[in-house]
Structure 1
């Protein structure tokens, strides 16, 4: 049997710092004994997450992006050997771009009381924030303390600490207060346009990885991706690894498993099952050391028959070899659209329900009026006849006889 290392034991300091992990939902088993940070950086977990992350060079990693500095395209004539070396170099660069966003536990919201000075009570109605602006201080270890109106001197909360960093050390596209995009309805509007990567990238630039607001926003986006099954929005991105880790940690892999099975990616299905088994050694799924990818997936289906209704595409591929093709569905939609009867307006149906008014033609009378240009050449002739002739200063009327002396 394949043995997995017990990765669920957390240190005593970690347990004292937080009751349970913020990345694990409360309805998940053994949520209080998971050290998420140690799990995420484990070598076996990182290897599985890397294998699950697809590298799409043309359509994802090196696609055209909106940047402030535009770069010109470069074309080169290469041999097969040179092309293979170039593609390998591009894949190495893509792996660097796809380094996962760190999965961190949120900073504690509790503050430490430094002093209590009753003499300063009612001195002012506003708080005083003192920020260390020493040159060698970083955004993480910068000291920020707050003096309350009642004379209490305390350490800052994570929100106050980061807000002071953004105030004194401004960066482009990082305002002092969080953008409206991170809250509904603007967030949902962006997700409806499949801009998940844009929102997550901006959140990584705006927040710190251990900011409680960043973790809450990530959970919200991950849950909506999983609910709508639009996994393609973050594939081949640096957010796909934390997303898969979040699903496996909360034992919610059937939707993604069905997505991999629908495209015939049995290896990814087996790696996803291995990942959940690594994160949950007490999970009731047996994986032997020499089991193939197909056997692991079939054993998972046998031992988790309750998820069979959610794994229809995976079952169809295993039993009949059917692959869910996007191209076929796109062609089907195109044929269905072309087969629709296009409405045309002519002299027969212009006054009826098939005309431009539709059912309103029964309530309103439709009157057809010809345009000026549709009356033929007689109209143009009448228009010329009605046009008055202009007589200039040196032009005489042709009807008046000329004098011989002129």
Structure 2
């Protein structure tokens, strides 16, 4: 064992990151850009870019009553509090609640998954078939953290290797138990239970539990988040995640892969031209080679109309947005629950140049 100790100590987080290849957040099967997603892209660096963060904050929104401070299932229920306030006191209280809401809406870190490759430390044929089970050795010293804890596995054939991310995190859960964090992943993270939860609009519940159970760079977590995002797009369930801390990850994932038309249509159906323009700005910021020009002097309306004009292949996917731009029709959306309905109604027509409207169908 003393012969391989130096090799184990060299397996730092810095060296493990060298095994990472192209961004796992780039999904070619979901890309809608003409040139396809860019091969070499640093998703982590882009996500923490101040300009990107500001756009994500604006796109996430802040629905205090309907989302952030809505009634939740907790072990300790709090009694509702009512108070008579002056207009000034009410304004101060609302400002305080908005600052508190910003904390609840803080984004989930976006990380590249750890490599699932393992390093062979040694192979001892003398103990081959010594036992029918593998042996796992875990460093449980006081100063070891969950991230840098050394975990190695002795295979039945005598091979000693480093643990996979799943084995590493499972050993952490075995030795350092936490509430609602069992050793094995909850069934709700996989079908058919996952599909059942999403059908009941429990997206936020699933993702909240995933954040507690997994590390942000766990490959299983990244796969689960992408699965939830893809099904959210397929079922047009954007309202379920809007104004939650998970909406930024969804928006970033779509923009990174050039798949913003479904979300553009959602914003357009509600008449939110500002959000539509910010979404286009975000995709341009993430994909500089995207063949779409945006000037600093362009208004939100011009950015959106230019996008619709230059992407005629998306007209069917953008029908709600086009209906709003043309006739001022918005969708009246109810609470995002099973069986909720959507109705369309006309609002005072937006002042849009007839030249821009005609460009949609030219």
TM-score by length of 2: 0.85
Aligned residues of 1:226 and 1:255 also touching (Cα < 8 A):
yes
- Is 2:21 aligned against 1:19? yes
Q: For 1:71 and 1:16, how far apart are their aligned partners in 2? A: 48
Aligned residue among 200, 208, 211 for 1:201: 208
Shift of 1:122: 2.3
**Using CA pairs below 8 Å that are at least 6 residues apart, which structure has the higher relative contact order?**
2
Alpha-carbon distance between aligned partners in 2 of 1:118 and 1:324, rounded to the nearest angstrom: 69
| Partner in structure 1 of residue 281 of structure 2 | 274
The 8 Å contact of residues 20 and 31 in structure 1, kept in 2 or not, is answered as no
> Is 1:112 matched up with 2:114?
no
TM-superposition CA deviations, 1:7-49 (whole Å, max 9, x none) = xxxxxx9996333211111354244211111111111111100
Q: Which residue matches 2:357?
A: none
**Bigger CA drift: 116-125 or 32-41?**
116-125
Q: Structure 1 residues 35 and 104 mapped into 2: Cα distance closer, same or farther (>3 Å)?
A: same
Kept in 1, the 8 Å contact 2:27–2:257? The answer is: yes
- Counterpart CA distance in 2 for 1:243 and 1:332 is 25
Aligned length: 320
Q: Which has the larger radius of gyration?
A: 1
Q: 2:68 aligns with which of 61, 71, 78?
A: 61
For residues 330 and 106 of structure 1, the distance between their equivalents in structure 2, rounded to whole angstroms, comes to 38
With over 3 angstroms needed to count, the CA separation of the structure-2 counterparts of 1:331 and 1:307, relative to structure 1, is: closer
| Preserved CA contact (<8 Å) 2:67 2:244 | yes
Does the 8 A contact of 1:14 with 1:35 survive in 2?
no
User: Could you tell me which of 297, 307, 313 is aligned with 2:314?
Assistant: 307
Q: Deviations over 1:157-194 (max 9, x none)?
A: 00100100111111111111111111111111111110
The Cα of 1:272 is off from its aligned counterpart by 0.2
Residue 102 of structure 1: aligned partner: 109
Alignment partner, residue 134 of structure 2: 127
Give the distance between the partners of 1:332 and 1:148, measured in 2 at CA.
60
Partners of 2:332 and 2:342 within 8 A in 1:
no
Residues in 1 aligned to 2:17 and 2:64: alpha-carbon distance in whole angstroms: 42
CA 1:201 to 1:330, structure 2 compared with 1: closer, same or farther past 3 Å?
closer
Residue 253 (structure 1) aligns with = 260
Report the CA distance between 1:309 and its aligned residue: 1.3
| Paired residue secondary structure (1:270) | helix
Match of 1:163 in 2: 170
User: 237, 246, 249: which is aligned to 1:239?
Assistant: 246
* Alpha-carbon contact 2:37-2:258 (below 8 Å) kept: no
Say what the alpha-carbon RMSD is for the aligned residues: 1.9
Range with greater deviation from structure 2 (120-129 or 155-164): 120-129
Whether the 8 Å CA contact 2:333–2:343 is kept in 1: the answer is: no
Q: What is the 5 A alignment of 1:3-402? A: 17-27=19-29, 28=31, 29-326=36-333
1:136 is paired with a residue whose SS is coil
Is the 8 Å Cα contact of residues 21 and 31 (structure 1) preserved in structure 2? no
| Displacement over 6 Å in runs of 4+ | none
Distance, in Å, in 1 between the alignment partners of 2:142 and 2:17 is 35
Distance 2:132 2:225 in 1: 36
- After superposition, the C-alpha distances for 1:206-233 in whole angstroms (9 at most, x for unaligned) are 1111111111111111001101111111
What is the CA-CA distance between 1:149 and the residue it aligns to?
1.8
Contact 2:112 2:217 in 1 (8 A): yes
Task: Tell me if structure 2 keeps the 8 A contact 1:167–1:176.
Answer: yes
2:26–2:37 contact (8 Å) kept in structure 1? no
> 2:10 aligns to what?
none
